[in-house]
Structure 1
Amino acid sequence: MVCDCQCSLTFPFLLSVPEVQNSVALQVNYTQTEICALESGSVEISCTYIKKTTIIKRLVKNTMWSIKSNEGTPVDLISDPDYRGRTQYLCHPTGCSLRIADLRESDSAQYQFTIKTNNGRSYTSSPGVSLSVTALQVKVKKLEYTNSYCKVELRCQSSCQPKHQSYIWIKNGQEILRGTSSSVFVLVYPADKYSCALEEYKEFPSPSVYAPQLPSVSISPTGEIVENRKVILTCSSDANPAANYSWYKEDKQKPVSNESQLIFSSIQASDTGKYHCVAANPLGRKRCQQKHINVTYAPRLPLVLAIPSGETVEGSSVTLTCSSDANPGATYTWYKEGDKSPKASGQNFVISNVRPEHSGSYSCVAQNTRGHQSFSVHLTVVKDPSVKIMNIIRLTLVVLMLIPVVVLCLWTRKGETLSTGTGPIEAAEMMQCASDSVYQNISA
Structure 2
Amino acid sequence: MGCKVVQTGFLVCLLSSSVVQGDTDYRVTYSSTQICALQGSAVDIRCTYTYPSRIKEKVTVVEEAVWFTKMNRDEPIDLMTDSQFAGRVQYRCDKNSCTLKITDLRNSDSAEYKFMFRTNQPGWIMIGSPGVTLSVTALQVKVTDTSFWYPSWAEVTCSSSCHLSDHGFYVWYMNGETLHTKTPSTDKYFEKSDSIACAVKRYENFPSPSLCVHESPCSSVVYTHRSICVPKGSSVDISCTYSHKTLVLTNFWFSPERSRQLYHSQPEDLREDSHYAGRVQVFDKRGRSTLRIRDLRVTDSAQYQFKFTARRFEWKSNLPGTTLTVTALQVQVTRIISVHQSHTEAELKCHSSCSPAAHLSYIWFKNGQEISKQKSSTYTDYFYPGDKISCAFKGHEDHRSPSVYPSKLPSMSVSPSGEIVEGSSVTLTCSSDANPEAENTLYKGNQSLPLGSGGTYHFTSISSEDRGFYDCKSDDQSVSLFMDVLYAPKLLSVSVNPSAETVEGSSVNLTCSSDANPAATYTWYKEDEDSPLYSGQIFTITDFRAEHSGNYYCEAQNTRGRHNSTVYLNVASNSWKFPVALSITAVCLAFILLFLLLWIRRDRSLKQQPQAGEGPDSRTEMDEIQYASVQFSTRQPDDVYSNFSPGQTERYQEESVVYSTTKPNSTTGTRRQAAVEDPSALYSKVVRK
Fold in common (TM above 0.5) = no
Which has more radius of gyration? 1
- So what's the TM-score if we normalise by structure 2? 0.28
Provide TM-score, normalisation by structure 1. 0.42
